[in-house]
Amino acid sequence: MERELSIIVIEDDREACKRFQDIAETMDKISVAACTSDSDEGVELVKQYMPDAVILDLELNEGRGSGMDFLTMLDKADIPYKPFVVVTSNNSSKMIVEYVRSLEIGYYVSKHKEDYSEKAVLDMLVSMKDTIQGSHKKVDKVYDDKDSEEKKEKRIKRMITNELDLVGISPKAIGYDYLTEAIYLLINGEDRPLPAVIGEKYKKTDSSVERAMQNAINKAWRVNDTEELLEHYKARIDPRRGNPTLTEFVYYYAKKVKEM
């Protein structure tokens, strides 16, 4: 089966991140593994996912760090290959453009161009898919062979927490870690009652684990915008209840993450 072009978006405009993710979901050959507004986290995401490409906002005015910080850290990162980087920026000064191009890391796109859009950037990456993946192919197997179970677990759990973040479940919520664990266990074929398995790991009762997970879901649906929630959680919800049950929620995300 043809492998999708995997990308990470580093962008401080939350709406732009959503557009990249939503548009990618409608396309056949590309997928967004994660989105962040933090340059440090961006490097960690590259290490975890080893994406084919990165879409990088140079300024990150509303985030942490900058695109330049990310590029500097990426250059020093101990990884099998460097992803292709599309640098997007509102700064189109000749000096900045020449500097980015001198790095020979990818491509520069000005956000001031009349034809700039998130879809145009994704379309460009899809058109270069074979070239980008071809440049990484020689080291893919080496990386896969060395990839430990621990690294795989971290990568999958990062995908899960990214989905929880999108629906506004706070990492500070007691149920956040339990939900992450529950979804991960389902992905790995766990057939025992999830609250019992998680309770054993965290030394908690089954009922307290189950209650904490359901409370985290309930709060997200109570305090966050409904339309925004439904952009990310697309399973049917009983209108009389108004939010997913624990079982519905964890099975939905286990299936979604497995298909990414």
| Residues 109 and 156 placed together within one structural domain of the fold | no
**pLDDT surpassing 80 at residue 103:** no
What is the pLDDT at residue 148?
A: 60
What is the pLDDT at residue 219?
A: 93
Residues 6+ apart with CB under 8 A from 16: 57, 118
Total domains in the fold of the chain: 2
Q: Percentage of the chain with pLDDT > 70?
A: 90
pLDDT per position as a tens digit, 170-203: 888 889 999 999 999 999 988 889 999 999 999 9
Tokens of 3: 């492998």
**pLDDT surpassing 70 at residue 143:** no
Domain of residue 135: give its range. Answer: 5-147
What is the pLDDT at residue 142?
A: 41
**pLDDT surpassing 70 at residue 208:** yes
From 112, 147, 182, the end of a domain falls on 147
Tokens of 256: 């979604």
Residues 6+ apart with CB under 8 A from 109: 86, 87, 88, 89, 116, 121, 124
From 93, 118, 147, the end of a domain falls on 147
| Residues 128 and 211 placed together within one structural domain of the fold | no
| Residues 22 and 99 placed together within one structural domain of the fold | yes
From 122, 147, 172, the end of a domain falls on 147
Residue 171's nearest CA partner among 157, 185, 184 is 157
What is the pLDDT at residue 2?
A: 62
What is the pLDDT at residue 242?
A: 87
pTM flag (> 0.85): no
Mean pLDDT of 216-235: 89
